[in-house]
């Protein structure tokens, strides 16, 4: 049976009792890989994380897959594998395309997104930003060369697929998310949302960082309040802008509330399904945020900026609106309109849910595992 080895930059912390603190989403994904791959699945990650914010503790023997934890910065040792899946974001993994074992690279960020992240970093001065931009451009040349030699490339999101599909004959598009079929909004919940006529219930979740557009949340909420809109805005998350968002929320008389991150499946999803009318995304970057698909799966349409990811998903799904990048006024004006007339909101919710159901966690992972198998078979056919 073929062995699939998967590399990842997932955070890990060794605990004194031998258990591991791991990112829950990473473990769930690896378990899905292990179930769907017709063979053995092993994983390699590296130490070095100071914290695992969305993590849990696991005994290695209970993971459901073989996991090797290496010291920070350690080179990948010789390990048995028939196929390697490696993140293209890991510069140290790109040389694997030159080895004997076929490699499928998984990519999320385009060079445009990488450079915009550098430009928006508040902790770097002009010299450091210039150096980082140059380093990213050099790495992009290496990345493209590795894609050309690889057995295949899996592109998470429309921007990466558009950017790299021409470099490899076995490039595939997938949409990452954690919404399993059984977690999607129910017909009864959708009916209840249509019957609801109270204040517009707006939700935002994610890291409170400049690249995520968290700096726009308070100004938009203030614009709604100034227009006399009946609304609530519940924000779930933490990050560099947490203090700024919290201070702003405190001036809004309870209409905007900041919450600490909560468990996705047990807390956030049930709340979204039962108590949210709209997800507000101020995300300027084109990275493939799984939040879009997960919100649609909860029956919650998305209002956001037309970055390269949400712009295409909004058009493909009908699950919301993509407005000019960085235009806070456009977002607040649309919110005012949706608060007054809810029928477009209900239509987008239904359309978005259908799209999410077609791209459930199970469906996307099954497609990815089939693609891995196809890449391995193609390489074996070449001898």
Q: Are the CB atoms for 147 and 105 separated by under 8 Å?
A: yes
Looking at residue 211, what is its pLDDT? 81
Asked if 202 and 225 touch (Cβ cutoff 8 Å), the reply is: no
Chain centre to alpha carbon of residue 231: 27
Order of strands, edge to edge, in the sheet holding 200-205?
256-259, 231-236, 200-205, 278-281, 302-305, 320-323
Supply the pLDDT for residue 383.
Answer: 66
343 with 369, same domain: the answer is no
Say how far residue 290 (Cα) sits from the centre of its chain: 3
276 & 367 share domain: no
User: Any alpha helices (H) in the chain, and if so which ranges?
Assistant: 24-36, 111-119, 126-149, 158-164, 187-195, 217-226, 242-250, 269-275, 291-297, 308-317, 328-340, 343-358, 361-381
Burial label, 246 (beta-carbon count in 10 A; 0-12, 13-18, 19+): middle
Q: Which residues pair with 259 in a beta bridge?
A: 236
Q: Which two tokens stand for residue 3?
A: 């062995």
Distances in Å between the alpha carbon of 361 and those of 207, 312, 366, 367, 371?
22, 20, 9, 10, 15
Note whether 251 and 124 are same-domain residues.
no
Which two structure tokens, joined as six digits, stand for 181? 């079929």
Q: Do 300 and 217 belong together in one domain?
A: yes
Taking the chain, what is the end-to-end CA distance rounded to the nearest angstrom? 18
Q: Which tokens belong to 10?
A: 């997932």
* Residue 321 sits in the same domain as residue 367: no
- CA–CA distance, 152 with 156 (Å, rounded to integer): 13
Task: Answer whether 0.85 is exceeded by the pTM.
Answer: yes
What single-letter DSSP state applies at residue 276?
-
Together in a domain, 32 and 159: yes
Q: What pLDDT score does 178 carry?
A: 87
Q: How far is CA 346 from the centre of its chain?
A: 25
Q: State the total domains in the chain.
A: 2
Q: Are 183 and 297 in contact (CB under 8 A)?
A: yes
Task: Give CA–CA dist 76/219, Å, rounded.
Answer: 47
Strand-strand pairing, 12-14 and 20-23:
antiparallel
Write out the residue range of the structural domain in which residue 153 sits. 3-178+361-381
pLDDT tens for each residue of the chain, 383 residues long: 899 999 999 999 999 999 999 998 899 889 988 988 989 999 999 999 988 977 899 999 999 999 999 999 898 888 889 999 999 988 889 999 999 999 999 999 999 888 888 887 777 788 888 898 899 899 999 999 999 999 999 999 999 999 999 999 999 999 999 899 999 999 999 999 999 999 999 999 998 988 889 999 999 999 999 999 999 999 999 999 999 999 999 999 999 999 998 988 999 999 999 999 999 999 988 888 899 999 999 999 999 999 999 999 999 999 999 999 999 999 999 999 999 999 999 999 999 999 999 999 999 999 999 999 999 999 988 86
Same structural domain for residues 282 and 200? Answer: yes
Rounded CA separation 324/144 (Å): 30
Residues 351 and 368 placed together within one structural domain of the fold: no
Contacts of 283 (CB under 8 A, 6+ apart): 206, 211, 212, 213, 289, 304, 305, 307, 310
Q: Both 138 and 220 in a single domain?
A: no
Domain co-membership, 201 together with 296: yes
Q: Who's near 202: CB < 8 A, 6+ residues apart?
A: 231, 232, 233, 234, 276, 277, 278, 279, 280, 335
Instruction: Report CA dihedral (352, 357, 361, 363) to the nearest 10 degrees.
Output: -130
CATH number of the structural domain spanning residue 145? 3.40.50.2000
Same domain, 291 and 253: yes
Q: What is the pLDDT of residue 79?
A: 82
pLDDT at residue number 286: 83
Q: Does one domain contain both 152 and 259?
A: no
DSSP 74: P
What pLDDT is stored for residue 281 in this prediction?
Answer: 96
């Amino acid at each position: 049976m073929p062995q699939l080895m998967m590399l990842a930059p997932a955070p890990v912390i060794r605990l004194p009792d031998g258990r591991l603190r791991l990112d829950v989403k990473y473990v769930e994904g690896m378990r899905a890989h292990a179930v769907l791959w017709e063979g053995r699945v092993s994983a390699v990650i590296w130490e070095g994380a100071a914290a695992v914010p969305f993590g849990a503790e696991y005994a290695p023997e209970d993971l459901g897959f073989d996991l090797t934890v290496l010291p920070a910065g350690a080179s990948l040792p010789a390990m048995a594998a028939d196929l390697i899946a490696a993140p293209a974001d890991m510069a140290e993994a790109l040389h694997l395309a030159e080895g004997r074992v076929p490699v499928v690279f998984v990519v999320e960020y385009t060079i445009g997104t990488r450079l915009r992240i550098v430009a928006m970093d508040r902790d770097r001065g002009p010299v450091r930003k210039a150096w980082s931009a140059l380093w990213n451009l050099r790495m992009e040349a290496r990345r493209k060369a590795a894609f050309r030699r690889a057995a295949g490339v899996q592109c998470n999101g429309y921007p990466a697929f558009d950017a790299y599909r021409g470099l490899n004959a076995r490039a595939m598009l997938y949409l990452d998310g954690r919404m399993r079929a059984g977690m999607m909004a129910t017909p009864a919940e959708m009916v209840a949302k249509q019957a609801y006529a109270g204040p517009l219930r707006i939700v935002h979740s994610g890291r409170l960082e400049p690249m995520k557009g968290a700096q726009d949340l308070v100004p938009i909420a203030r614009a709604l309040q100034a227009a006399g809109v009946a609304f609530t805005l519940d924000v779930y998350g933490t990050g560099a802008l947490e203090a700024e968002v919290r201070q702003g929320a405190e001036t809004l008389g309870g209409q905007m509330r900041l919450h600490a991150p909560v468990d996705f499946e047990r807390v956030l999803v049930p709340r979204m399904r039962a108590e949210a009318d709209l997800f507000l995304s101020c995300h300027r970057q084109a990275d493939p945020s799984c939040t879009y698909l997960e919100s649609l799966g909860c029956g919650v349409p998305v209002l956001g900026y037309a970055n390269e990811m949400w712009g295409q998903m909004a058009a493909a799904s009908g699950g919301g609106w993509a407005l000019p990048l960085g235009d806070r006024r456009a977002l607040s004006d649309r919110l005012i309109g949706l608060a007054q007339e809810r029928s477009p909101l209900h239509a987008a919710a239904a359309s978005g849910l259908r799209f999410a159901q077609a791209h459930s966690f199970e469906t996307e992972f099954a497609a990815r595992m089939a693609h891995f198998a196809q890449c391995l078979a193609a390489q074996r056919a070449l001898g």
